[in-house]
DNA sequence: GGGTTATATCGATTTTTGTCGATATGTGAA
DNA sequence: TTCACATATCGACAAAAATCGATATAACCC
């Protein structure tokens, strides 16, 4: 998997309302899947699918204990994602005047 | 559009490799569409579609000048998105011991 | 005006993603 | 060892998103 594919994977995980709702629930601490299921309006298999996507993105960790699976936010990966997003959207020094098409400046 | 829909829209915009490539190109400053088209491996109509998604997310601004459209990163919205992501992934105080299913704690 | 260029929009198609119900897996309890 | 429960996986389908080629729009140049 390329670097950009990995980054896209993280943001894709964040780009779904159900998964955002799950993250908000996890903000108050680790939760087992059954609790999440009570609060999110999708079926059990669908929730399981969303949790897999969140875990595979790295933003969430899963811990099994007996019958239950506990999910929690992974703040380390969250911080990494923040840094990536910040890097992507900073305004670098950009004093150029582009009144003409910038294609004029390209290398062919 | 709900709050979560808006947030999902921003992260969806970031969850595509072509759009990530465009953002990386825009890091070095405003670019017109034709320059982006030279460097990204999609057709012209597809690029236009991606740029619309980026602009509608707020992460990118569009400025028309004659025949050309210039795109640039919007660092204000970028910072907002960072803040949202940080809020979503912080580790709040979480001293609870979840050795039993946390459903035991729920309100029915 | 007529041609050329840059970009946007449209319509069709393909690919990806979300959803569900059914079933499988694995655990603890009776 | 059988049962109930929690979760994961599977297969099918529906919805959303990406892509393309064709065409529309709009600006510039001759």
* A12 nearest nt, CA–C1': C17
Select from B19, B21, B91 the least CA-distant residue to A59: B91
DSSP B17-69: HHHHHHHHHHTTS-EEHHHHHHHSSS-HHHHHHHHHHHHHHTSEEEEEETTEE
Select from A54, A44, A48 the least CA-distant residue to A16: A54
Number of CB atoms found within 10 A of residue A45's CB? 7
Q: What is the CA A11 to chain-centroid distance, rounded? A: 4
Give the separation between CA B4 and CA B19, rounded to whole angstroms: 21
Query: Which pLDDT belongs to residue B67?
Result: 96
Ranges of residues in chain A with a pLDDT under 70 are: 93-108
pLDDT of B105 over the 90 cut: no
Q: What is the CA B76 to chain-centroid distance, rounded? A: 12
Query: Which pLDDT belongs to residue B1?
Result: 84
Contact A92, B96 (CB under 8 A): no
**D8: residue with closest CA to C1':** A48
DSSP A38-50: HHSSS-HHHHHHH
Instruction: Retrieve residue B16's tokens.
Output: 């595509």
What are the domain boundaries of chain A? 3-90
pLDDT (tens digit, 9 = 90+) per residue, B57-96?
999 999 999 999 999 999 999 999 999 999 999 877 655 5
| pTM of this structure | 0.90
Chain B residues lying within 8 Å of A82, measured CB to CB: 82, 85-86, 89
Query: Which pLDDT belongs to residue B93?
Result: 63
Rounded mean pLDDT, B51-56 = 98
pLDDT (tens digit, 9 = 90+) per residue, B7-32?
999 999 999 999 999 999 999 999 99
Query: Which pLDDT belongs to residue A81?
Result: 97
Query: Which pLDDT belongs to residue B91?
Result: 73
Chain B residues lying within 8 Å of A94, measured CB to CB: 28-30, 72
pLDDT of B102 over the 80 cut: no
Instruction: Retrieve residue B82's tokens.
Output: 């960072």
Query: Is A17 within 8 Å of chain B by CB?
Result: yes
Burial class (CB in 10 A: 0-12, 13-18, 19+), B45: exposed
pLDDT of B6 over the 90 cut: yes
What CATH number labels A3-90? 1.10.10.10
Query: Which pLDDT belongs to residue B31?
Result: 97
């Amino acid at each position: 998997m390329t670097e950009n594919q990995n980054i896209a994977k993280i943001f894709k995980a964040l780009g779904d309302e159900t998964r955002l709702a799950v993250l908000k629930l996890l903000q108050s601490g680790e939760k087992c899947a059954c609790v999440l299921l009570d609060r999110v309006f999708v079926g059990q298999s669908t929730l399981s699918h969303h949790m897999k996507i969140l875990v595979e993105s790295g933003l969430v960790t899963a811990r099994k204990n007996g019958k239950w699976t506990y999910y929690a936010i992974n703040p380390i990966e969250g911080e990494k994602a923040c840094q990536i997003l910040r890097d992507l959207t900073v305004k670098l020094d950009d004093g150029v005047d582009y009144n003409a098409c910038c294609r004029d400046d390209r290398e062919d």
